[in-house]
A and B are shown apart, each in its own frame.
Chain A
Amino acid sequence: MMMNPDAVEENQEEGNILVWLTGLAFLAAMVAIFIYVPTEQTEGVVQRVMYFHVPSAWLSFFAFFIVFICSILFLWKKEREWDIYAHASAEIGVIFCSLVLITGPIWARPIWGAWWVWDARLTSTLILWIIYVAYLMLRTQSDAGSMRARYAAVLGIVGFLNIPFIHFSVLWWRTFHPPPKVITNEGIGKGMDPTMLATLGISLCAFTLLYFLLMGVRVRQEKLKDEIDRLKREKLYSA
């Protein structure tokens, strides 16, 4: 996988635009969260944690969906490129899933009176986190090569199957976790105040842009690592 210098320059320009867009989106999100959105009457200020918690959850699920797609493509086409995308996305997914598992209890303590309850949504999210931490451990522990990538791809696909279960768990069982408020039976956004919905939308956009920014950097990094390894191997064999 050779890196074209023109393509690298073009990618850097796109990266700079993305940095600015992400920065602006986060600035808008902060203004909305701290100034624009009204304080929820029953939960108080802590309800604003949701504007970080829900986008973090969305980002991690989206990242794991990309792992799922790229893992399938890797097993099918056997191209290293798809493995790089899956690896980078899994790492970002685990970071944001960790934030979900930390911000959730911070919200729950004053609202439920407990940091953690073993209900279906919380437990299945914890299982998802454990699966993808195992995925990253597999990548660092086992020897490099296509077999490692193949095992990781299988785990990446199996892990994603947990996500529909997480989503529907609040509808299938009686859980402590609140039911979906954005997509409800009444329609999209009908279960929320319009200002709260707008704030959540801005925050979701900011987190999604952050995902693409981090993905771009991590993918470039992995490709550079591959290039260095290739040059080292070439030098070793030519010596």
Chain B
Amino acid sequence: MDNQWFFLAANVVVWGGIIYYVYTIRQRNRALEKDLELLKETLSKEG
């Protein structure tokens, strides 16, 4: 049966999905780190 393109598509979907989710987690991490740095800066200026 010549259906390897469907298998390739499934691979692209699964790996694409996992990589995209990890990417969004990293983006959220960066935003949180930025927030934390900003907060530290503000606190050290006041302290």
Contact = CB atoms under 8 A, between A and B. Distances in A.
B38 to A, nearest CB: 9
B39 A228 contact: yes
Interface stretch (A43-51, A75-83, A130-138): A43-51
A180 B20 CA distance: 30
Interface string A38-72: 00001111101100110010000000000000000
A44 B39 contact: no
A28 B29 CA distance: 29
Contacts, number: 71
A98 B4 CA distance: 22
A210 B22 CA distance: 11
A177 interface: no
Interface residue range, chain A: 20 to 34
A43 B3 CA distance: 9
A52 B14 contact: yes
Interface string B11-33: 10110011001100100110010
A44 B3 contact: yes
B18 A210 contact: yes
A107 B6 contact: yes
Contacts of B39: 228, 231-232, 235
B1 A107 contact: no
A233 B35 CA distance: 14
Contacts of B11: 52
Contact of A49 (B7, B25, B29): B7
